[in-house]
């Protein structure tokens, strides 16, 4: 049985006071015990997140990491640094990182390896652009991005991964994939992993959907058989909306 995960991605948004508001809300709200919840905060907020969420069910994580543990890489954040702040997760290969910071499949794999090396759980983001969908290339693009990571990892490391299917055309646009569209891609990822790697890996692999998920559409997406949670951007900046999505996952 796969435990659902609801992960928020603040991107370059938020504030210390928003962390505190989430901390208070998580202490006062009964979050469903059968759901993991986490916020991926900007790196400067990691220490505040650690303090605010320490005695709550909320986990925290980073939005990217460098593939090297340390060195002359001005502005970058390393896996050991995230681990020092007790981050549990790190996003890797978000479409904004791929498009705006030129992270290709090789860079994504190197970052996943670096994350696994320090005990973080990488949430690997995959997804097609609208042009790729319109050209009928969704499956080949998405499975190619999945393989670029899985094929480069040892079996034990593969088991640590979470994959987030995020159609690029749905991120931050208010256009959500229909539950049927999302389920079809998730089912195709799971079946491919089953055939190419192992049944056990496919059965255990948590597949999140991301792309304009909000309280109003969370239930119909999260009740699809191959959708094991959500990666939430905009709605993770609103305490009530994000906690409502967590409740839907329970």
Cβ-contact 236, 5 below 8 angstroms: no
Binding mask 156-195 for ligand PEP (x = CB under 6 A): ----------x----xx-----------------------
166 is annotated as an active-site residue:
yes
- Which segments of 38-178 does DSSP mark as H helices, in order? 46-53, 79-84, 95-100, 105-117, 130-134, 138-150, 155-158
Q: Which is it for the CA torsion 208, 144, 128, 178, positive or negative? A: negative
Q: Find the shortest distance in angstroms from Cβ 212 to ligand PEP.
A: 4
User: Which listed residue (183, 211, 242, 246) binds ligand PEP by CB under 6 A?
Assistant: 211
Catalytic residue among 103, 128, 132, 166: 166
Binding mask 117-156 for ligand PEP (x = CB under 6 A): ----------------------------------------
The one-character DSSP state at 77 is -
Number of continuous H segments (helices) and E segments (strands) in the chain: 12, 8
Considering only residues 7 through 46, tell me which ones interact with ligand PEP, judged by CB under 6 A. 9, 11
186 is annotated as an active-site residue:
no
User: Which listed residue (212, 227, 228, 248) binds ligand PEP by CB under 6 A?
Assistant: 212
Cβ-contact 137, 100 below 8 angstroms: no
137: Cβ contacts below 8 Å, ≥ 6 apart: 128
Q: Find the shortest distance in angstroms from Cβ 203 to ligand PEP.
A: 25
Considering only residues 75 through 104, tell me which ones interact with ligand PEP, judged by CB under 6 A. none
Tokens representing 27?
């202490």
- The residues that touch ligand PEP, with contacts defined as CB under 6 A, are 9, 11, 166, 171-172, 210-213, 231-235
């Amino acid at each position: 049985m796969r435990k659902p995960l609801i992960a928020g991605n603040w991107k370059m948004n938020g504030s210390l006071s928003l962390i505190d508001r989430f901390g208070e809300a998580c202490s006062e709200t009964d979050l469903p015990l059968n759901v993991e919840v986490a916020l991926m905060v900007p790196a400067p907020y990691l220490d505040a997140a650690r303090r605010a969420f320490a005695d709550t069910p909320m986990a925290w994580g980073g939005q990217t990491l460098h593939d090297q543990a340390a060195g002359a890489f001005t502005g970058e954040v390393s896996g050991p640094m995230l681990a020092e702040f007790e981050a549990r997760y790190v996003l890797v290969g978000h479409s904004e990182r791929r498009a705006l910071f030129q992270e290709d499949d090789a860079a994504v794999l190197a970052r996943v390896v670096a994350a696994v090396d320090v005990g973080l759980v990488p949430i690997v983001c995959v997804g097609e652009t609208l042009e790729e969908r319109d050209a009928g290339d969704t499956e080949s693009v998405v499975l190619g991005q999945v393989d670029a990571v899985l094929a480069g990892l040892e079996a034990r490391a593969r088991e640590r991964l979470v994959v987030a299917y995020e159609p690029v055309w749905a991120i931050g646009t208010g256009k959500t994939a229909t539950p049927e569209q999302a389920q079809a891609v998730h089912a195709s990822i799971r079946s491919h992993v089953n055939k190419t790697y192992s049944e056990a890996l496919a059965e255990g692999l948590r597949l999140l959907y991301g792309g304009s998920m909000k309280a109003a559409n969370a239930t119909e997406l999260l009740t699809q058989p191959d959708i094991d949670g959500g990666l939430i951007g905009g709605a993770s900046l609103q305490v009530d909306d994000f906690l409502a999505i967590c409740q839907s996952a329970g």
